[in-house]
């Protein structure tokens, strides 16, 4: 694939700013809409748009029964539970806080790989895990945060979502899925969104027409569908083909900072000194987990 500097810059902007802004957009929408309804509309709409684009560009939507089942499993782990419950948790926790907690996702994946696949944890990753645990503790131990009604449950459920995303990451690494990432994403969004729709009905959520939503919620939903679900993900996969994974992984460090700033600016969310310290420690730990460099002295120490 030919490199286009302008497209690469725009793609990085997408995974940095757009993904970082989805926490704010979900927070705005969930103040007015039921969480599972919100998430189901987002992903079903995005999936249908992907299918329309695929047909217009001549991509085949034919997949095997096994691939359909696997995309449904991935859709549940990533979207139904992994994202839908995060949206629910945003009713009780700040958007920037949620983004910071979720930035520890590489730590969760690393531990799951150790537990279920027996993969050895490298020296740099061990240091990253230690820093990550310290950062998470500092983040969730703040009295002004845990004293809010429902915040503790929200934090616990976000952590459960991180485990779901981690299990999903391990699953898709070995599962038989559609070879075209665009088609794969479309099926995951349709199946995951459909399960969110069922969950919404089971929980008795009240549905409303978009014409009844406020302008802020209408714009938030539109941005989540078009940019958060389609543009950013396409940019992510585009970058994976052209630049190193380490550079793409830098979104892990940038997203929570964007979310914190946007939450503070638009929603007056508080940024405490302890949150800033926790963010620095946590994101440093994530860097050590993602990096391929080695600390020779520390490596020898743990052998």
Question: pLDDT value at position 299?
Answer: 42
Assign 296 a pLDDT band (cuts: 50, 70, 90).
very low
Residue 245 has a pLDDT of: 65
* Whole-Å CA distances, 247 to 18, 44, 156, 250, 254: 17, 30, 30, 5, 12
- 48 or 104, which is more confident: 48
Report the pLDDT value the prediction gives residue 297, as an integer from 0 to 100: 39
- When pLDDT is cut at 50, 70 and 90, the band that residue 55 belongs to is very high
Residue 44 has pLDDT above 50, yes or no: yes
Query: Looking at residue 247, what is its pLDDT?
Result: 78
Tell me whether residue 27 is in a domain.
yes
The two tokens of residue 161 are 């979502």
pLDDT digits (tens, 9 = 90+) for 185-223: 899 999 999 999 999 999 999 999 999 999 999 999 999
Scanning the structure block, which residue is given the tokens 């790989």? 113
* Contact present, 251 and 13 (Cβ < 8 Å): no
- Average the pLDDT over 37-59 and give the result: 96
* Residue at 18 is within a domain: yes
Nearest-angstrom CA–CA distance, 225 and 221: 6
More confident residue, 227 or 145: 227
The model's pTM: 0.88
Q: What is the pLDDT of residues 57-73, one digit of tens each?
A: 999 999 999 999 999 99
Instruction: List Cα–Cα distances, 5 to 2, 8, 122, 254, in angstroms.
Output: 10, 5, 34, 20
290 assigned to some structural domain = no
pLDDT bracket for residue 240 (50, 70, 90):
confident
Kindly state the average pLDDT of the residues 158-183: 89
The region of weakest confidence among 44-53, 79-88, 171-180, 190-199 is: 171-180
Q: What pLDDT is attached to residue 293? A: 59
Q: For the chain, what is the domain count?
A: 1
CB 105 within 8 A of CB 253: no
User: In whole angstroms, what is the distance from residue 3 CA to residue 243 CA?
Assistant: 9
pLDDT at 294: 52
Position 292 confidence tier, pLDDT thresholds 50, 70, 90: low
Q: Is the pLDDT confidence value at 121 over 60?
A: yes
Q: Yes or no: say if 264 and 96 are a contact pair by the CB < 8 Å rule.
A: yes
- Per the CB < 8 A criterion, the answer to whether 169 and 109 are in contact is yes
Per-residue confidence band for 1, with pLDDT thresholds at 50, 70 and 90: low
pLDDT of 266 reads: 95
- Which residue's entry shows tokens 């030919």? 2
Cα–Cα distances in angstroms (integers) from residue 78 to residues 151, 181, 188, 192, 195, in the given order: 22, 15, 8, 8, 12
225 or 110: which carries more pLDDT confidence?
Answer: 225
**Residue 271 corresponds to which tokens in the numbers above?**
């940024």
User: Is 134 inside any structural domain?
Assistant: no
Q: What percent of the chain has pLDDT over 70?
A: 94
What's the pLDDT score for residue 259? 94
| Residue 276 falls inside a structural domain | yes
Provide the domain limits for residue 214: 5-103+168-281
Which whole number is the average pLDDT over 256-266? 93
Question: For residue 294, is it within any domain?
Answer: no
31 lies in some domain: yes
Query: Does 52 score more than 90 pLDDT?
Result: yes
Q: Which pLDDT belongs to residue 238? A: 80
């Amino acid at each position: 694939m030919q490199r286009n500097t302008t497209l690469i810059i725009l793609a990085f902007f997408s995974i940095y700013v757009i993904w970082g802004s989805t926490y704010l957009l979900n927070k705005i929408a969930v103040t007015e809409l039921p969480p599972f309804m919100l998430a189901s509309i987002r992903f079903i709409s995005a999936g249908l748009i992907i299918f329309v684009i695929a047909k217009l560009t001549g991509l085949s939507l034919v997949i095997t029964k096994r691939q359909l089942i696997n995309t449904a499993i991935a859709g549940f782990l990533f979207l139904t539970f992994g994202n839908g419950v995060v949206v629910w948790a945003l009713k009780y926790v700040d958007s920037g806080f949620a983004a910071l907690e979720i930035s520890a996702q590489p730590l969760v994946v690393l531990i799951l790989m150790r537990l279920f696949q027996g993969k050895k944890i490298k020296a740099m990753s061990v240091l990253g895990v230690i820093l990550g645990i310290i950062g998470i503790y500092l983040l969730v131990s703040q009295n002004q945060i845990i004293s809010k009604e429902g915040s503790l449950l929200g934090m616990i459920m976000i952590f459960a979502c991180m485990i779901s995303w981690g299990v999903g990451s391990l699953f898709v690494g070995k599962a038989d899925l559609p070879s075209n990432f665009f088609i794969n994403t479309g099926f995951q969004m349709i199946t995951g969104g459909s399960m969110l729709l069922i969950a919404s009905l089971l929980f008795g959520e009240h549905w409303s027409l978009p014409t009844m939503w406020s302008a802020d919620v209408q714009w938030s939903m539109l941005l989540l569908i078009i940019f958060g679900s389609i543009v950013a993900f396409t940019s992510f996969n585009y970058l994976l083909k052209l630049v190193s994974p380490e550079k793409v992984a830098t979104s892990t460090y940038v997203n929570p900072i964007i979310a914190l700033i946007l939450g503070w600016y638009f929603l007056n969310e508080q940024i405490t000194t302890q949150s800033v310290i926790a963010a620095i420690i946590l994101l440093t730990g994530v860097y050590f987990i993602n990096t391929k460099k080695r600390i020779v002295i520390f490596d020898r120490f743990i052998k």
